[in-house]
């Protein structure tokens, strides 16, 4: 099992093209931890904003009567990928991993694979 800080460091170093990462509580919108980012990528604001994305998707799924769970959400921008992965399991309920990637330097499939692996090892 890995702590939040260890998990974030692993994502920043193991995922090619990683620009920033956060572990976020989507019930409150608060980031439990952030790493990376910069003046053009405020991870605290992004964490709060992506909380609204998750809430909207969960609400829509409920209205549609979908019983499946969300694995991840991908937002594709002109120069970046924004990956949101909901953490499952008893210790991560209500949390998500948020990873921002440089679109030109990253491999989306590998990033998704790494996020899944980190999620499985994360202990909050």
Q: How far apart are CA 97 and CA 78, in angstroms?
A: 21
First-to-last C-alpha distance (Å) of the chain: 9
- 23-42 CB burial, b ≥16 within 10 A, e <16: bbbbeebebebbbbbeeeee
List per-residue pLDDT tens for the chain, 124 residues long.
Answer: 578 888 889 889 989 999 999 999 988 989 999 999 988 899 999 999 999 999 999 899 999 999 888 899 999 999 999 999 998 765 557 899 999 999 999 999 999 999 988 888 887 7
- DSSP string covering 33-75: EEEE-BTTB-HHHHHHHHHHHHHHHHHHHHHHT------EEEE
For residue 91, the model assigns a pLDDT of 58
Give me the pLDDT at residue 39, please. Answer: 85
Specify the pTM: 0.90
């Amino acid at each position: 099992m890995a702590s939040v800080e260890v998990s974030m460091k692993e994502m920043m170093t193991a995922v090619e093209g990683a620009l920033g990462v956060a572990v976020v509580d989507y019930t409150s919108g608060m980031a439990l931890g952030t790493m990376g980012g910069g003046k053009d990528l405020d991870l605290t604001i992004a964490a709060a904003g992506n909380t609204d994305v998750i809430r909207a998707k969960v609400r829509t799924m409920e209205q549609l009567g979908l019983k499946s769970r969300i694995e991840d959400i991908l937002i594709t921008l002109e120069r970046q990928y924004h990956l949101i992965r909901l953490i499952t399991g008893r210790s991560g309920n209500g949390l998500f991993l948020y990873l921002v990637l440089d679109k030109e330097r990253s491999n989306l499939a590998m990033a998704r694979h790494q996020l899944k692996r980190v999620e499985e090892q994360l202990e909050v």
